[in-house]
Amino acid sequence: MNDRYLSVDQVAEVLGTSARFPRRLIEERRIRYVKVGRHVRIPKSAVDEFIRSRTVEPIRRRHARYRRAA
């Protein structure tokens, strides 16, 4: 499997956060990562998986409820 490995700063850019957030995910082991020497790299598939697992779908209602004018 050829996966692209991203730096913490690149992951932060993808997520639209500061670099502190991906670092916290790594520290809490809430995302997969690879240590390359003293560098940390996160597989793009791990970022995609993280986003997918936390995506909340909207609730679809069968009937729209309308308020009657008073």
Q: Where are the domains of the chain?
A: 5-53
Mean pLDDT (the chain) is 91
What was the pLDDT predicted at 64? 61
- Does the pTM exceed 0.75? yes
Q: Look at residue 43 and tell me whether its pLDDT is greater than 90.
A: yes
Residue 61 DSSP code: P
CA 35 → CA 25, 32, 57, 58, distances in Å? Answer: 14, 10, 33, 37
What was the pLDDT predicted at 39? 96
- 25-28 long-range contacts, Cβ below 8 Å, gap at least 24? 25/50
What was the pLDDT predicted at 2? 78
Tokens for 62, please give them. 């069968």
pLDDT tens by residue, 28-41: 999 999 999 999 99
What was the pLDDT predicted at 68? 67
Q: Return d(Cα 20, Cα 15) in angstroms, integer.
A: 11
